[in-house]
Structure 1
Amino acid sequence: MAVVTSIHRRAPDTDTFGGRLSRTRDSLGLSTAQLARRVGVRQKTIEQWESDRSEPSVERLSLLAGVLNVNMIWLLHGVGDAPEDDIGPDPLAAITAQLERLKRMHEDTGRIIERIQREMTRLEDER
């Protein structure tokens, strides 16, 4: 039986890029607006990255990793050493931010469902 070894001390983080980005930002107590200003993008761009609707360019990814003080490979792929899972100096603010993110995602999902339903109705009417 072959023995498999790993160069990493921890198992890969199975969260998505957006999840790792959001967790890290929250742990530093940064809002999406604050991170957007530091990286030089719009707040909506950060929100799209955190909801896995898009990913940053290599240059922005490198800048994100530097601003968040994390390894770029961990941020992108979840491989390597993760930052400590500290929710920051204000736990209530971090939890509130996560709740607001979930609410926005829920609203986005509702809009997508409505759009799909309208399209299905339109296609059925064309039959």
Structure 2
Amino acid sequence: MVIGAKLKQARESKRISQEELALMLKTTQKTISNWESDKSIPSLDYLAKIEAVLEVDILSWLAEKGIVFNQHNDKGDNAAIINKDFSKELKEQYEKRLEEKDRNIEELKNEILFLRNMLNNNNK
């Protein structure tokens, strides 16, 4: 079972609608729908919120997808992620997010440049 199906099952077992869950998580119903249909994947922050709201074990869900959290590494950290053969779909989703991040960075750089130019023109 994939994460989206598990999320839907957990939500429905609590008799919570997508709209209600969205309000609890401070997101949109469409986002919940996308997660449940595996069109997108919740961030780690959202996974933590989902775990608290729906009282589920997210770590076991992730372990089934090959994502394991090392509880005791040699540095004393508790959140090291070990990749154990990610699925093709998960890799594609990750690549899409990286591309979106790059586009957002480029847009922000352009906006900063524009604002600097505006500021320089106003100071003349």
| Higher strand proportion (structure 1 or 2) | 2
> Which of the pair has more CA radius of gyration?
2
| Structure with higher RCO (Cα < 8 A, 6+ apart) | 1
Q: Please, what TM-score do these two structures have when normalized by structure 2?
A: 0.49
Q: Please, what TM-score do these two structures have when normalized by structure 1?
A: 0.48
